[in-house]
Amino acid sequence: MATSSPLDRADLRHRVSTALRDCLARQRPRLDAISPNLRPLVDALTAFLLDGGKRLRPAFAYWGWRGAGGRDSDEIVTAVSALEWVQACALIHDDVMDGSDTRRGQPAMHRRFATLHRGSDWLGDADGFGTAMAILLGDVCLIWADEVLNTSGLPTEALLRGQPVYDEMRTEIMAGQYLDVLGQVTGDDSVADAMTVVRYKSAKYTVERPLHLGAALAGGPPELMAAYSEYGLPVGEAFQLRDDVLGVFGDPAETGKPAGDDLREGKRTVLVAKTLERATAAQTAHMRQHLGDPELDDAGIAELREVIAASGALAETEKLIAELTDRALAALDVDCLDPESADVLRELAIAATARRV
């Protein structure tokens, strides 16, 4: 295994993938026993889960555990792999809600099943079938997440400590997604509301709660929980702001999505909110007119990029990312945190927020 990335420390990505593969291997015969017609369900989830995701949430949860003094074991790796199942649900359902065509360079789940329908001479509407199947497969992921966590082999008392954090995290991600969808339709432009979405949909869900989950499973002290919040929230916000920048300026080869796709989808990111706050009246009018136009061509994307850069929003966002990252790194200087874990969390903060455009 490569160990150049903090995500590969303790062979983590590889071991999480193995845990996911093991879960799928257990589910396949179980569903086969119900009906062989369920095979496309497991095939689709296998392709989705084993496509080489970064395993960022399991990494934060694992190092949250290690940071609290938890020892490395296959059980903790299995337990944190549950977060990839939660994330699979979130992504599959998000793609339906956003009408996204692709995910990590592959067709989105609803498109995959719509294509299956079109190639099969079936009855009814192919897109409706794709949507139905994506809803169901997301539900299955959410259910299997619990099963993976509960059957991970961790002691019952550890699981009982983790449960409230896990529950909190799942409600927060759905709340964040609700506010995000609502923001798209109300056309809410404020930086404050965009930051609320970032906090719940990304910062808490991607970083703070996984760390808390790992720490709770390990029985970490309250001061470590507090340190994880002080580290996790800014690094999670910075991570999402970096994602916003990549969604507009990023290289399709890296993002797995067409260039500027966030602009075509009309995502009300903090970057966009900052642009609208600072731009001239003419620039604002131009932005509002073209943002969310699915037909926006490369020239149109380039014009919006120019507005975002010229308004100063891009520079301000880069500055904010740097400040948040610094604040996160400072929070790791606490005695209750295991030193190796502090090192990895430092590397993760830098890797997840580094400038790549």
**Closest residue by Cα to residue 266 from 236, 287, 286, 283:** 287
Closest distance of CB 136 from a copy of itself, Å: 5
Task: Show contacts with a copy of itself in window 196-225 (CB under 8 A).
Answer: 196, 200
102-103 and 106-107 strand pairing = antiparallel
Interacting residue with a copy of itself among 177, 202, 255, 275 (CB under 8 A): 177
**How many residues bind to a copy of itself according to rule CB under 8 A?**
56
Q: Is 281 in the site for a copy of itself (CB under 8 A)?
A: no
At its nearest, how many Å lie between a copy of itself and the CB of residue 108?
14
Please state the closest distance from residue 343 (CB atom) to a copy of itself, in A.
33
Site for a copy of itself in 131-150 (CB under 8 A): 131-133, 135-136, 138-140, 142-144, 146-147, 150
Q: Binders of a copy of itself among 221-280, rule CB under 8 A?
A: 266
Q: Which of these ranges, 77-85, 163-171, 239-247, 250-258, lies near a copy of itself under the rule CB under 8 A?
A: 163-171
Work out how close the CB of 145 gets to a copy of itself at its nearest, in angstroms, rounded to a whole number: 10
CB of 232 to a copy of itself, least distance (A): 17
Residue 304-333 contact track with a copy of itself, rule CB under 8 A, x = bound: ------------------------------
Residues making contact with a copy of itself (CB under 8 A): 27, 30-31, 34-35, 37-38, 41, 89, 93, 96-97, 99, 117, 120, 122-124, 128-129, 131-133, 135-136, 138-140, 142-144, 146-147, 150, 156, 160, 163, 167, 170-172, 174-175, 177-179, 181-182, 184-187, 196, 200, 266, 292
